[in-house]
Amino acid sequence: MDYLLLKYIHVLGAIVILGTGTGIAFFMLMAHRTQDAAFVARTAGVVVVADLLFTASAVAIQPVTGYLLADMMGVPLGSGWLGLALALYVVAGAFWLPVVWIQMRMRDLARSAAASGQALPQAYHRLYRIWFLCGFPGFGSVMAILWLMIARPAL
């Protein structure tokens, strides 16, 4: 495969991960602020689909394109900035995977509350706090990876 095409696909994957993550966080936060169970349920439903469709696809493509690029450039996977980027990728994934499940559970709790005409339950609010806190290391890792990809610092 052509180096520039492979790099384009890799960068596009990074953009999708960062953009989808940012959009999901924004829409979930804004829906949560309304405390409207029906609105939260609809928003969380769309967020889950977006995460599974866009984020998961890009997350699957990144290691493949990254490996191929490293191989073409002759950069060992565990060395320097690339080794740190891979470690951060694992950190991001360790926070993203539970977040997907949390979003599904928040969606289900909001749907149940909306169907019964009740407020969002305590279980929803507990999950929301966990979801919110997971965003910092998960999103921070992705931001750091992007910087490492661009700067390629000598480490």
- What's the confidence (pLDDT) of residue 72? 94
pLDDT in tens, 29-83: 999 999 999 999 999 999 999 999 999 999 999 999 999 999 999 999 988 999 9
Mean pLDDT for the chain?
96
- Quick one: three-class SS letters along the chain? CCHHHHHHHHHHHHHHHHHHHHHHHHHHHHHHHHCCHHHHHHHHHHHHHHHHHHHHHHHHHHHHHHHHHHHHHCCCCCCHHHHHHHHHHHHHHHHHHHHHHHHHHHHHHHHHHHHHCCCCCHHHHHHHHHHHHHHHHHHHHHHHHHHHHHHCCCC
pLDDT in tens, 16-30: 999 999 999 999 999
155 has pLDDT over 90:
no
Domains of the chain, by residue range, sit at 3-151
87 has pLDDT over 90:
yes
